[in-house]
Structure 1
């Protein structure tokens, strides 16, 4: 009889209102192995990990640890059972020291008496030394670099001496030298009684550290491959599911079209580094990349929502300095945020107020009074043009569907008559029919000469809608592709490049 697997998921499913996150999911972690778990954004990786760590409860299926049923009732219980997870987003207390963060809630004591800060620091120092981590137990976590904060998370997870270590994008904040330290740590952790589930979008890392690669897509198990015997294009092909034939998107914008926006060397304090691109009249320029690549940060920097450290922005050849979204609007740049409910709409106000919001002063105000009749007439035109399903322009925005709310935000900027429109996740959270209407609208706007930047996490959407695609990874542009050469595989290849890797354009 063969030895039982260290960890196994059999037929696991999980649903949320309106969303089937996981269905009939299978995963097998052998003893002593590092198993990569890969998939596109939204494939179900995070849901699966939250089920394993007790944050969620599965609707169907079971987990097994050493062949015995595993039913974690919460994160603390999962830790007690030997499952430790390092989340992509840190869970640290910046005002506490490294030692305090590692052993929060588990401070050393004798009986009911805490042993004190010195004993805590000594215990942390012993762990840090054993793990070969470049940390000082006494240093305040809020003063550490992001990379060192990641190391604190790793130390905290390993302090529980887990059987199964789950690492969700552990190298996102690390440079090459720090990645090598982490990989050495994983190799030391791996024993015949332990195993690692390693989630990463960095394809080059999988060859370096993993034994097998499990691919999931759209909440379902796809395949498990031996790392040594497979190629990264094979992995990417399974991740995206199918090839999208080149040329299905719009034809490239003619070179003689005027450049309306030129960005050179855009750099911010936290993420963006030397971002450069051009946007032409009548062009839909898609921005693709994985979570945290910097796509939204580019949009926010362009409209002055985030401060810029260096770089230049030109509108039709003239240098401009935009420091606030209001200044961007004056330059006829409209930004439709990915978070429409909090940043794009006044949910408690009616459709009329929302559509006229950005143009009241210049179009609907006279002698200090709002020209309500004119604003309502224009709002009705927008409702008709965009086919917004609402009883009237007096309907409160919060009662509209997601797709119709998105159209109201678009209408606001159409009234403003912007030359440049930045759409961040324009179809997120809306149904298929509403998506098609948004696509139709974007194409009509481009045909009218509007220039559009479209940021989307859905690769088929980017490929379908874009004349050109700018691909980002870790705050940098790693490549630019014309519609004729852009496929899911080519975009994913660029999206998983490390910034030091030579970009393609």
Structure 2
């Protein structure tokens, strides 16, 4: 990939100057400043809770700052509402994409936009004529009048970008755009971003993936603890400088020593697992105290394999044994009773009840431990709060109390809540699907330390990750999947980034028997 273009000399399209914001007495922003010029790809990075989301909400008109000023084209501007933000030329594409599967592609593109009418009816033919060239420019291949159900995350991103261009956006804010995209889909998105930049559209690119930030961005602003602590460009813009600014000092490197792998007894044995077309003849053993990685490209079948282990999907063929006994869960509840835990890929939709408290979420798999007594099925609020407070302390979860709704926590702290739930129930096998997706570098290190600690206590841990750098740091062994098959097993010093990437693109026929 080519590097970022030179820093633009144009005056800013939008600037935030000394912006502050408090929620319930806690300061989310402590005087941040940021400016974005037309045609610039500007990176915004920082730890979870650093204030990135709060500033984006202010720019989007979802909340108002307590103090400071916003300038648009050099003029002081009160945004005040999403409608006003749209009128000013700003469009926002969040991780949770604005998308309705039951509508057509064209209807999804036009969500929230004024529509041409004829004789009092929406003139979809005229709208399609206007949208078609924009959709082609972005790379939307699905027919505009076809239903959007079944489209991939990458295609949904293209629909959202098309919507922004139909709106004639001058600034597009992208929040973690590649979190669920494959390598080839990322390359396509990067090409679109460069095309937008060349045409004068500004992009605010928010991501924890520093390689993408370095590749795409002209300038990068770093937030820490509600403050803007650095603006880097040119020769200053390097990975070490970014990491140091994000964490506020030198980073502790926790690279794993890859000697000979010592294996404990087999806890989970899998033979010939199959659910077509996503999982084909998967076989492996997972040992007590081991951290086993599952690598591969998006769509390789990793999450589908986890669902089979956890009883969320049923097998077409194959057998499993847990501690030497036949294991065939037909539901997740059966898997939990047998001693398996799962931290799902989509923590917000599959792992948490966001409107409920931290205590409620932690207790979901530990109800027997918080009953008032062994006879009556009543929950003890005191026991539940005590359990949650212990997990909050043990995992250093940043929260006001165990009664705080989990939806108000940062991504890293939400992930700790999901992991903490299983710490209390002590499963024999813990499956973590993308455990550090969407979390900052500091939270990533904390989660890695926690995973190592669980393995050291004797828990068998299975980690699924799309990050080639994560598994070499963390795992004793790694299995690489492609086209639904396990195509390579790597162990000890052979668990490397290059080996994982090479094996991920290997032909499925190269499968190495477990």
The two structures have a TM-score, normalised by structure 2, of 0.65
Contact 2:271 2:283 survives alignment (8 Å): yes
| 3-state SS of paired residue (2:149) | helix
1:169 equivalent in alignment to 2:176: yes
Post-superposition offset of 1:235: 2.4
1:63-122 deviation line (CA, Å, top 9, x unaligned): 211221232222121010111111221112222222222224421135x73462222222
1:345-360 matches, cutoff 5 A: 354-355=367-368
1:339-488 matches, cutoff 5 A: 339=352, 354-355=367-368, 375=375, 396-397=380-381, 404-405=387-388, 428=397, 430=399, 458-467=443-452, 472-474=464-466, 478-481=470-473
Contact 1:283 1:451 survives alignment (8 Å): no
Post-superposition offset of 1:26: 1.8
Post-superposition offset of 1:170: 2.6
1:109 equivalent in alignment to 2:117: yes
Post-superposition offset of 1:191: 5.3
Cα distance between partner residues in 2 of 1:344 and 1:303: 25
- Residues 275 and 84 of structure 1, relative CA distance in 2, 3 Å threshold: farther
| 3-state SS of paired residue (1:188) | helix
Cα distance between partner residues in 2 of 1:281 and 1:131: 49
Q: Name the residue aligned to 1:23.
A: 30
Cα distance between partner residues in 2 of 1:276 and 1:15: 52
1:142-179 deviation line (CA, Å, top 9, x unaligned): 24232212111110011111221111223334444443
| Count of aligned positions | 437
Range with bigger deviation, 83-92 or 229-238: 229-238
1:44-193 matches, cutoff 5 A: 44-104=51-111, 105-109=113-117, 113-114=120-121, 116-190=123-197
Q: Name the residue aligned to 1:255.
A: 262
Find 2:209's aligned residue among 185, 191, 202.
202
Cα distance between partner residues in 2 of 1:145 and 1:4: 38
- Residues 308 and 27 of structure 1, relative CA distance in 2, 3 Å threshold: farther
- Residues 453 and 242 of structure 1, relative CA distance in 2, 3 Å threshold: farther
Post-superposition offset of 1:462: 2.6
1:38-81 deviation line (CA, Å, top 9, x unaligned): 23444332222222111222223222112212322221210101
Contact 1:286 1:453 survives alignment (8 Å): no
Cα distance between partner residues in 1 of 2:421 and 2:235: 47
- Residues 267 and 6 of structure 1, relative CA distance in 2, 3 Å threshold: farther
1:325 equivalent in alignment to 2:332: yes
Q: Name the residue aligned to 2:298.
A: none
Post-superposition offset of 1:192: 8.0
Question: Which structure's CA Rg is the greater one?
Answer: 1
Q: Name the residue aligned to 1:364.
A: none
| 3-state SS of paired residue (1:31) | coil
| 3-state SS of paired residue (2:56) | helix
The two structures have a TM-score, normalised by structure 1, of 0.66
Contact 2:395 2:420 survives alignment (8 Å): no
Cα distance between partner residues in 2 of 1:68 and 1:228: 31
1:206-245 deviation line (CA, Å, top 9, x unaligned): 3432212222233332322225653334323433334454
- Residues 342 and 22 of structure 1, relative CA distance in 2, 3 Å threshold: closer
Q: Cα RMSD over matched residues?
A: 5.5
Cα distance between partner residues in 2 of 1:141 and 1:308: 29
Q: Name the residue aligned to 2:480.
A: none
